[in-house]
A and B are shown apart, each in its own frame.
Chain A
């Protein structure tokens, strides 16, 4: 509950940009995760000063704040799990400056990734991180999650592009982290710390990003395999060749079937497809293509398709990006996609073992169908669970399976998240993987946010299970 006096103060300066309407507080209790918890109020600030006033009020009255971009987080980062205020950045969506000569762009947090790239494209530049949700993901959300996507193999993740951040700290001060220079050895890299902190350390109100020139040309190769292990072996072999394409993506049969059902795309329906995006000059691409074909052929590819046609490339890339939301079309009406253990990062050479191991674990659990895909070229896999969320047995099965999968990831030297973050759903496994590191992070969190108002109950502060505050109509017993 929000104290009456605080609500009155909010309304005094935000007017209609604060809502406590039941429909609104209910909707803002969702993101794309399995969790749901109603907010108490929604605020729509238009400036850093307004954000600061809201944060000061929340800190004064000890009311939680959950910042929100497009609400597409997969591990509950945008769910107000402790209630309180949800802060939407839909109205802070301006591209403030494009400084090509300084290789940077300055934006408000609500700017959407694809909109930024449409603008940069006019100058022959781009912001390389390319999440599957790039058409909806806000830059603020991408920084807060350290999102990356398909091109991280060659270009890195969002954090690598963050030059400077304006941040409203949990205690209400406005701090300017980082610099507007390419090089920066000026003390602690605080902007890099805020990137990936999931809104638990402060609220980002302005972002300066480094940008890159667009590649000259690109081609896409689809290599189809009837043996999942050989497909993932191909990925390791490409990297070891050595060859660093812009992206190397992996999709298994479940994912391929889903996206074919959803979009009618002409992907081959096989056990696994490896999609390789090559870029450079025409000669570079020609040479790299020969190498890729040789490696895929050696590993038993049953079909190799290549396209440099813009329309076809876009169709393939868009289909690949839509794998996750397409998963509900795999067994329409019977099984539904739920976001559990959706994201893990491994040493690249361990990808074949991980893919093989995940499917082996899947076979032990009758209520779950598993789809595996991801940016395998950089070691980042996504695993999508299809279950009937109305069936408590399915959840129990899925929960066990998540534990077994993360045990395997940790055994293989991986980490529980490559790009979707920790939030609620992955926090217990992060504690298992890196207890010592989490303890230090917790000290940082408590130093910056002494009253625990900033996206509380997530990440380092989460110490409960994963099947909590489920958004599905199911009774799991206990607290559910």
Chain B
């Protein structure tokens, strides 16, 4: 598992540039829980100098995969990929029950949550069409973390724009499986179900509300199969291209700020689209947080950290919430919104736009 990352690991010069920008390291204040430390642990597992044990699993799972390290690393090491590969080594013996249950639910029931539920699309009230060129992939986190609200708003916005689109009889994209280090075949099974569903309906473009789903389709699936016949896009990019006009909205908002989701920002570079949409609302009471765009801090819920160490997730969220102050946090990721909502007022950008639309 780690063989293919030997060069990556040796490329690390241990300069420690990644340690000062890592939001986890900045909470835990130990080099063992820094990106460099995790690469070194992966290296120890590879060389056999380090045996997988609880302490190894702890340090590998104490990471939100936010990618701040990747964007900081002057040596060009793909640190998050190394960490995810190392998690595969510890997963069979050392994953905690919550992680295993989560992964089990995905494989057995198609989504991340234990209870038998209706299909994900059902929460939007908009059944899949037989054929459509554009599809909306809601994602199980949208359902679970925003009480379906983000997905309902997204569907409503697409209807408002009179788009010819369909929902999908989807299953979990598999991101949580990658996060915990579950076996490849489980991830491929999710991928095959989703791609089969998309192609069956003649879909050429898939829109996402969840940056992690977007990441899986656009960055992980292509490692396994050819998906060049399908275009993937986050819905904020799509809505921005469509150009919602100020006259479409009611004027004024409560005090708001925008939190850049890690994958949407650092992986896809989508920083302007959500801000353009917010600014299309006349007199929006908007202010940036101290850390924004490329330097945005992780909410603490990424990388399935909350399954492993919820108290760390909370500490990271607290730091971000302190930056937001009294402002409502708007974001384009169900995981971030769900995490913030436990402690402060947070809303998806789809809900904000739908609420503010004159209709």
Contact = CB atoms under 8 A, between A and B. Distances in A.
Contacts of B56: 22-23
Given A22-B56, A27-B37, A30-B40, A389 B16 contact: no
A328 B13 contact: yes
A392 to B, nearest CB: 15
Contact of A22 (B11, B16, B53): B53
A262 B15 CA distance: 14
- Among A23, A32, A336, find the residue whose CB has the most chain B CB atoms closer than 10 A: A23
A379 to B, nearest CB: 24
A336 B11 contact: yes
Contact of B32 (A19, A91, A136, A336): A19
Interface string B24-58: 00000111100001001100101101110111101
Nearest to A132: B15
A28 to B, nearest CB: 6
B164 to A, nearest CB: 41
Contacts of B74: 262-263, 322, 325-326, 329
A276 interface: no
Interface residues of B, number: 35
B278 to A, nearest CB: 26
Contacts of B37: 27
B7 A22 contact: no
A136 B31 contact: no
B17 interface: yes
Contacts of B189: none
Contacts of A472: 10
Given A28-B31, A42-B30, A328-B76, A70 B16 contact: yes
A32 B16 contact: yes
Interface string A294-328: 00000000000000000000000000001011111
B31 A27 contact: yes
A25 B60 CA distance: 15
Given A27-B40, A88-B30, A262-B75, A70 B19 contact: yes
A473 B6 CA distance: 10
A336 B8 CA distance: 10
Contacts of B59: 23-24, 27
Q: Is the interface of B mostly helix, strand, loop or mixed?
A: helix
Contacts of A344: none
B14 interface: yes
Interface in B106-121: none
A23 B55 contact: yes
A135 interface: yes
B11 A328 contact: yes
B20 interface: yes
A133 B15 contact: yes
A263 B15 CA distance: 16
A126 interface: no
A136 B15 contact: yes
A325 B51 contact: no
Contacts of A166: none
- Among A22, A112, A326, find the residue whose CB has the most chain B CB atoms closer than 10 A: A22
A332 interface: yes
A231 interface: no
Contact of B50 (A22, A68, A91): A22
B55 A21 contact: yes
Interface string A24-54: 1011101110000000001010000000000
A339 B56 CA distance: 27
Nearest to A69: B16
A31 B50 CA distance: 17
Contacts of B17: 133, 135-136, 322, 325
A324 B7 CA distance: 18
A42 B55 CA distance: 14
B32 A135 contact: no
A112 B25 CA distance: 14
A209 to B, nearest CB: 20
Contacts of B75: 262, 325-329, 337
B325 to A, nearest CB: 21
A85 to B, nearest CB: 14
Contacts of B29: 44, 90-91
A316 B30 CA distance: 31
A32 B10 contact: no
B30 A473 contact: no
A133 B55 contact: no
A263 B29 CA distance: 28
Interface in A66-82: 68, 70-72
Interface string A329-354: 10011001101000000000000000
- Among B7, B12, B31, B50, find the residue whose CB has the most chain A CB atoms closer than 10 A: B31
Contacts of A21: 32, 54-55, 58
Nearest to A93: B29
A480 to B, nearest CB: 13
B76 A332 contact: yes
Contacts of A336: 10-11
Interface in B152-169: none
Contacts of A68: 31
Contact of B76 (A24, A32, A112, A262): A262
Interface string B59-75: 10000000000000111
Contacts of B44: 26
- Among A21, A24, A32, A261, find the residue whose CB has the most chain B CB atoms closer than 10 A: A24
Contacts of B77: 328
Given A21-B55, A23-B55, A27-B37, A88 B31 contact: yes
Contacts of B54: 21
8 contacts: A19-B32, A23-B56, A26-B40, A32-B16, A329-B11, A329-B76, A333-B11, A336-B11
Interface of A: 19, 21-24, 26-28, 30-32, 42, 44, 68, 70-72, 88, 90-91, 112, 133, 135-136, 261-263, 322, 324-329, 332-333, 336-337, 339, 389-390, 472-473
The 7 closest A-B pairs by CB, nearest first: A21-B55, A325-B15, A23-B55, A325-B74, A32-B14, A24-B32, A27-B37
